[in-house]
Structure 1
Amino acid sequence: MNIVVVDDDPLVCKSLKVLLSREKDMEVIGTANNGAEAITACCEKVPHVVLMDIQMPVMDGIQATRQIKENWPNIRVMMLTTFKDEKNIRLAILAGAEGYLIKSTEVSDMAQQLRTLMSGSTVLGADVLKQLIQPTEGENLEQLTPREKDIAELVAQGLSNREIGEHLYIGEGTVRNTLSVILEKLQLRDRTQLAIYYLKKL
């Protein structure tokens, strides 16, 4: 299993490279310190798995994951981060990540989880599952205005911008502009992701 490790801390990259390469069936063939470098590494090396941090300069792990999955759908992405809040977990999964582990995970457990990932399964650490089952109160939908929530709900029901405008008695341009604001607030890419996100919040 060929792996690229992505983390803005060079020491983390070096440590994981040494520790994971001790596994007989694993080899860390490259490291990167931000999302843009991760995409370059995937282009040059085409690994089986990318171990991806989230918060990094230049390009974060969520953006990088989205681009990697668009360009190399067969590359498996495992998020490895200190963030275990529901928002980042859901955004990572929506971006295409097949796994999500916390950095405190023992290397032996991490190696086994990587094998599970390569077998085609989705991997979520115990802390991650707990967070999804018992999400933090006051989640992101609460930051939307009543009108924005109405539009998000209608998007989730599959209505077009024109149909939403007719339903709420507002112009199609207003719907389009408000939708852009909603996507920005929730850090989502498009209306499809918004629909999935909204339905999962119900």
Structure 2
Amino acid sequence: MKIIVVDDDPLVCQSLRLLLSRESDMEVIAIASDGEEAIQRCAEELPDIMLMDIRMPGMDGIQATRQIKQRWPQVTIMMLTTFQDEQNIRLALLAGAAGYMLKSTQVTSMAQQLRTLASGTSVVDVNVLKTLTTPEQDDLSGLTPRETDILELVALGCSNKEIAEQLFISEGTVRNTLSIILDKLELRDRTQLAIHYWRRS
């Protein structure tokens, strides 16, 4: 099993390379420190699995995952992170990650989960699963269907232009509707809108 480790902490990369290479069926063939380098290493090495951190300088792990899965859908990506908030989990899985594992995972358990992932079964840490199954209660019932559609596309990271193209409306209409949504939900900006959306029940 060929693995690429992606993390902006060199110590994490080297530790994982050392520990996973002790497994007879695993080989860490490359490391990367950000999303752009991860894409480059993937193109050069074409691994079986990528262990991907989420928060990194420049291109983050979720953006990198989305691009890698678009170009090399056969590459399996496991998110490896300290963050288990619902927004990051859902965005990572939507981007194409097949698993979500915490850095606190024991190496022996990590190796077994990677084998499970390689067999075609998705893997989500039990603590992460609890986060997904007990979300915060946020009500969107006050929004119209069109407002809800726009909010969902904002949460997926779409620009006003992309939203307009997908919904066949003008960018001006998107901007005006976003202002209405912000007023209704008493939120400040697009980031808060995205977080609000992913925390809903």
What secondary structure sits across from 1:44 in the alignment?
A: helix
Q: Is this contact kept in 2: 1:151–1:175, CA < 8 A?
A: no
What secondary structure sits across from 1:16 in the alignment?
A: helix
Note the 1:15-54 alignment, pairs <5 A: 15-54=15-54
The aligned counterpart of 1:152 is 148
What is the CA distance between 1:176 and its match in structure 2?
3.1
Kindly provide the amino acid, as one letter, of the partner of residue 44 in structure 1: E
The aligned counterpart of 2:55 is 55
What secondary structure sits across from 1:77 in the alignment?
A: strand
Kindly provide the amino acid, as one letter, of the partner of residue 95 in structure 2: A
What is the CA distance between 1:121 and its match in structure 2?
0.9
Note the 1:1-202 alignment, pairs <5 A: 1-135=1-135, 137=136, 151-153=147-149, 172-177=170-175, 184-185=190-191, 201-202=200-201
CA distance in 2, matches of 1:101, 1:11: 18
Divergent runs of 4+, >4 A: 146-150, 153-156, 178-184
What is the CA distance between 1:43 and its match in structure 2?
0.5
Kindly provide the amino acid, as one letter, of the partner of residue 103 in structure 1: K
Kindly provide the amino acid, as one letter, of the partner of residue 2 in structure 1: K
Q: Is this contact kept in 2: 1:148–1:178, CA < 8 A?
A: no
Encode CA deviations 1:44-74: one digit per residue, 9 max, x unaligned.
0000000000000111000000000000000
What is the CA distance between 1:154 and its match in structure 2?
7.7
What is the CA distance between 1:174 and its match in structure 2?
3.7
Q: Is this contact kept in 2: 1:66–1:95, CA < 8 A?
A: yes
CA distance in 2, matches of 1:33, 1:107: 21
Structure 1 residues 64 and 148, CA gap change in structure 2 (3 angstroms): farther
Structure 1 residues 74 and 161, CA gap change in structure 2 (3 angstroms): same
CA distance in 1, matches of 2:33, 2:150: 40
Kindly provide the amino acid, as one letter, of the partner of residue 147 in structure 2: I
Structure 1 residues 29 and 174, CA gap change in structure 2 (3 angstroms): same
Encode CA deviations 1:64-86: one digit per residue, 9 max, x unaligned.
00000000000000000000000
CA distance in 2, matches of 1:46, 1:120: 17
Structure 1 residues 187 and 66, CA gap change in structure 2 (3 angstroms): farther
5+ long unaligned stretches in structure 2: 153-162, 182-188
Structure 1-normalised TM-score? Answer: 0.76
CA distance in 1, matches of 2:146, 2:115: 43
Structure 2-normalised TM-score? Answer: 0.77
Q: Which sits farther off after the overlay, 51-60 or 176-185?
A: 176-185
Kindly provide the amino acid, as one letter, of the partner of residue 132 in structure 1: L
What is the CA distance between 1:150 and its match in structure 2?
5.2
Kindly provide the amino acid, as one letter, of the partner of residue 148 in structure 2: A
5+ long unaligned stretches in structure 1: 166-170, 189-196
C-alpha RMSD over aligned residues: 3.4
The aligned counterpart of 2:158 is none
